[in-house]
Structure 1
Amino acid sequence: MLVLSWNVRGLGRGEKCRAVKNLVTLHNPTILFIQESKLRLFNDQVVRSLGGLVLAKDVGVEAIGSTGGLISLWNANLFKVIACISNQNCVSLAGELVSLNKKVVFCNVYASNVECDRKALWDCIIEAQVSLPKLWCIGGDFNAILVSTERRWGSTILGL
């Protein structure tokens, strides 16, 4: 089983979609998480352009304006989805890994830059964890800077 996660920072250009499809072809993942698609329209054509025929099942959360957008694609022969919970910041797929005969939750996250919104997202995930299977795989963009050297743009504020 292979799970890939990528913050693409926009899928508006053809070369970005081709890069995602090449990644899928090269690695043949069970699940693909995409964050910050920036797509306001999500349809079957987008799914085919990213996952081809292998990752044909999907859940998408459209962007608001020019920010956000989540896409979760999976191989239905390897992972059978039983339930899906989604909002602007998270797509949680509860299902069964066929080869292991295990129930698992895959969670694709694109957290807000605002600290109190990130806390609300984690509270929501923790609440969902009570009623869903115990095995979880969480990936995505958590918009959290743990060490000041991770910061790529802007100034570093002391005390963070």
Structure 2
Amino acid sequence: MNCVFCSWNVRGLGKAEKYRALGKLIGRSKANIVFIQESKVENLKPWVMARLQNLNLRVVAIAPSAGASGGLVSLWNPAVFKVESNIVGARWIILVGQLMVQKRKVALVNVYAPNNLREKRNFFEELSSELEKLSMPLLVGGDFNSVLSCDERIGAGESDSVQGVYSV
């Protein structure tokens, strides 16, 4: 079984059409590790959990939103990734476990960085500190709210497109 990884800033999971779009994305890509940013939810509704189970995503880690912003959700198929421990911060979820495809211990890291420059510096310092404690390969995905050049900002926010779907 291949490991297919998907990361998506959904800009809110409050509406049924977002859940349907998420289900279609997971189904089409056959993703078995999914990182969601900016979920804007504290918990997933029971009917959503049932739908995810139909897609073989049975395990969930959530960093709840703070009011109407933020929020992370990490989903994985336990046949692909076996979690041994997790660290859930306000803006990251770190899952440490066994990637079954490669029989290798790895850390999966789902992040949602702040927009504010000062907050972003603190975020990266704190995240770096957590990641330095781990001595294993990392698979990092999410929304870093960073660009390499100002040209990349053109059109930002115009669509809720997939951040990336990758196969390992």
Q: Under a length normalisation based on structure 1, what TM-score does the superposition of the two structures give?
A: 0.87
Superposition deviation, residue 120 in structure 1: 2.0
The answer to whether the aligner puts 1:140 opposite 2:148 as a matched pair is: no
Shift in alpha-carbon separation, 1:116–1:95, aligned structure 2, 3 A: same
Larger CA deviation: 127-136 vs 3-12: 127-136
Residues 81-103 of structure 1, C-alpha deviations (whole Å, 9 max, x = no match):
01100111100101001121101
Q: Which runs of 5+ in 1 are unaligned?
A: 155-160
Residues 46-90 of structure 1, C-alpha deviations (whole Å, 9 max, x = no match):
333446341110101111111001000000011000110011110
Q: Which runs of 5+ in 2 are unaligned?
A: 158-168
Secondary structure of 2:87's aligned partner:
strand
CA distance in 2, matches of 1:50, 1:6: 16
CA distance in 2, matches of 1:134, 1:11: 32
Shift in alpha-carbon separation, 1:75–1:139, aligned structure 2, 3 A: same
Secondary structure of 1:65's aligned partner:
coil
The answer to whether the aligner puts 1:13 opposite 2:15 as a matched pair is: yes
Superposition deviation, residue 12 in structure 1: 1.1
Superposition deviation, residue 116 in structure 1: 2.2
Aligned partners of 2:85 and 2:97 also within 8 Å: yes
CA distance in 1, matches of 2:37, 2:7: 8
Superposition deviation, residue 43 in structure 1: 4.8
Shift in alpha-carbon separation, 1:53–1:84, aligned structure 2, 3 A: same
What is the aligned-residue identity percentage? 36
CA distance in 2, matches of 1:116, 1:51: 39
Secondary structure of 1:117's aligned partner:
helix
Aligned partners of 1:36 and 1:70 also within 8 Å: yes
What residue is the counterpart of 2:96 in the other structure? 94
What residue is the counterpart of 2:26 in the other structure? 24
Higher relative contact order (CA 8 A, sep 6+): 2
CA distance in 1, matches of 2:110, 2:40: 15
CA distance in 2, matches of 1:59, 1:39: 12
Equivalent residue pairs, number: 154
Secondary structure of 1:72's aligned partner:
strand
Aligned partners of 1:32 and 1:74 also within 8 Å: yes
Shift in alpha-carbon separation, 1:55–1:133, aligned structure 2, 3 A: farther
Aligned partners of 1:40 and 1:62 also within 8 Å: yes
Larger CA deviation: 48-57 vs 62-71: 48-57
Superposition deviation, residue 41 in structure 1: 3.3
